[in-house]
Amino acid sequence: MGLNGYDVAVIVLYLACVTAFGMHFKKKQSTIKGYFLAEKTIPWWAISLSIVAAETSTLTIISVPGMAYEQDFRFLQLVIGYMIGRVVISLLLIPHYFRGDLVTAYQLIERRFGQRLRSLTAGLFLLTRAAADGVRVFAIAIVVGIALSGLLHGYSDLGRDVTAIAIVIILTLLYTFKGGMATVIWTDVVQLSVYLTGTVIGLFTIAHLVPGGWHAAYAMAAAAGKFHVFYFGWNFYAKYTFWSGVIGGAFLTTASHGTDQLIVMRLLASRSERYAKMALVASGVLVFFQFALFLMIGALLFVMYKLIAPAVAFARPDAIYPTFVVTRMPHGISGLLISAILAAAMSNLSASLYSLSSTTIIDFYSRFNPGVTEKRKMFLSRMATIGWGIVLFGLAIVVRQSGQKVLEIGLSIASVAYGSLLGVFMLGVLTRRASESGAMVGMVCGFILNIFLWQFTGVPYTWYVPLGSIVTFTIGYGASFFLRRTMPVEPVAEVRA
């Protein structure tokens, strides 16, 4: 069936409304901390919803249903680990973030170790975050390509992709440029509501299309084993088992939500340590139900396409859900669901732009220019936001031109880096005698190990962070004694921004 002009009008209207909404909430910021931390005035529940929106990309929405379509609900084992990781962060890392006046996660590293390691961790974050987000931005073109293939048949593939990526980046920049973190968080709340509402509509539409309705669809999915969650096998090379899911997921989330500026900046915007913990733990509950919803979409699509064979076989699992939206949903609703997928893309993009910009200005520029005025830092922060938008646009085009192999590489880099980052942070909060030089040695060893596992072994990515962080921690602690470098028992109270 494909989208028609009415669907396109719905998409355009949505993009215009969400951009106007974001610009409506903007307010003039006078300090760099107000710009990046929203003056710590945001309620915990809004930060919680923003965390979920920030960690949900277009790839999540189009890929997770494909997992259930091909297999079952075993991915939820990893999500259980996500929830455990949030508890670990609340107990170990959040208390340290609220001691002092921090703006980025990597200021904590300088307070505990020193400037060299702060630069190393912040630099690794910038490289891996940009690479991973370039892939996520490219996912926009995948969705738009499927959605508008009929309307834009006269356009070249490159022209269509470049236009789609540019439009979303420009619109996101319009409301992120001036308003600061407050604008981003409240817009995230709206975007999350849109894509979850759209997904629920999609779920009931699929059930309606199956002969016999919801009960028949559920019974057929259950008979096909789609709702199996737990697999207690000891196969180390299996990607989703109970052990790799719970352990790997806990380590992965502790790294991604406890050391990655993308999420840490939201926690630091909380009114207090207690509210930051409430926001983080609550987001874990919502993430669990969100992934269960996406998986249910995939299970019901399996039933529907088993009864009603698709006109053309799916080239890849990622294409199943967007193809259903375009070909099977009523006009208007199709446009709303495509808008919902774009909502996730814009939420993730705005979060990425602010995390990259804050790390660039706070962890690098301000450190080497201590006398710069707040007005100058505000101007440069906005320029950095635009600059990173251009960088992500360029990386998305590179990914698009390089094909699927680079797409997979870009998604893997973040997991490879998280192991060494988490190991360094654990050295900082769990030990008092680890030194900066020892931690740097451990970090390099952990990073090299994960590159080796990724490139030369069949070890699944779910084990990268646990193995990388353990090696980083162990070697870093041992190297500290070998190099005979120790840190003071009590860390200093202040960190230069």
pLDDT in tens, 455-489: 888 888 889 999 999 999 999 999 998 886 444 54
Instruction: Tell me whether residue 432 is in a domain.
Output: no
At residue 29, the pLDDT reads 60
Instruction: Tell me whether residue 301 is in a domain.
Output: yes
Q: Could you give the C-alpha distances from 245 to 81, 87, 285, 305, 450, in angstroms and in order?
A: 6, 16, 16, 29, 18
Number of domains in the chain: 1
At residue 27, the pLDDT reads 59
Q: What is the pTM of this model?
A: 0.85
Q: Is pLDDT at 492 greater than 50 in this prediction?
A: no
Percent share of the chain, pLDDT over 70? 89
pLDDT tens, residue by residue, 388-405:
999 988 888 877 665 544
At residue 486, the pLDDT reads 47
Q: Please provide the DSSP assignment of 116-146 as one string.
A: HHHHHHHHHHHHHHHHHHHHHHHHHHHHHHH
Let me know: does 338 contact 325? Beta carbons within 8 Å: yes
CA-wise closest residue to 89 among 284, 289, 338: 284
At residue 60, the pLDDT reads 78
- The token pair at 197 is 């509402």
Q: Is pLDDT at 275 greater than 90 in this prediction?
A: yes
Q: Kindly report the average pLDDT of the chain as a whole number.
A: 83
Instruction: Tell me whether residue 263 is in a domain.
Output: yes
Q: CA-CA distance, 258 to 93, in Å (whole number)?
A: 7
pLDDT tens, residue by residue, 9-40:
888 888 788 778 777 766 556 677 777 777 78
Q: Provide the terminal-to-terminal Cα distance of the chain, rounded to the nearest Å.
A: 55
Q: CA-CA distance, 385 to 3, in Å (whole number)?
A: 33
Say which range, 106-115, 172-181, 301-310, has the weakest mean pLDDT: 172-181
The residue ranking higher by pLDDT, 86 or 39, is: 86
Q: How many residues does the chain have?
A: 497
Say which range, 173-177, 190-194, 207-211, 274-278, has the weakest mean pLDDT: 173-177
Instruction: Tell me whether residue 275 is in a domain.
Output: yes
Q: Please name the residue that has the structure tokens 């973190």.
A: 181
The residue ranking higher by pLDDT, 152 or 23, is: 23
For residue 388, the one-letter residue type is: W
Q: Is pLDDT at 77 greater than 60 in this prediction?
A: yes
Average pLDDT for 217-221: 91
At residue 406, the pLDDT reads 43
Say which range, 125-129, 247-251, 335-339, 421-425, has the weakest mean pLDDT: 335-339
Q: Is pLDDT at 496 greater than 70 in this prediction?
A: no
Dihedral (Cα; 235, 468, 351, 261), 10-degree rounding: 150
Instruction: Tell me whether residue 459 is in a domain.
Output: no
Q: Please name the residue that has the structure tokens 């309606």.
A: 208
Average pLDDT for 181-208: 86
Instruction: Tell me whether residue 355 is in a domain.
Output: yes
At residue 209, the pLDDT reads 87
CA-wise closest residue to 430 among 125, 96, 47: 96
- The token pair at 179 is 């308003």
What CATH number is attached to the domain comprising 29?
A: 1.20.1730.10
166: containing domain: 5-404
Instruction: Tell me whether residue 462 is in a domain.
Output: no
At residue 42, the pLDDT reads 87
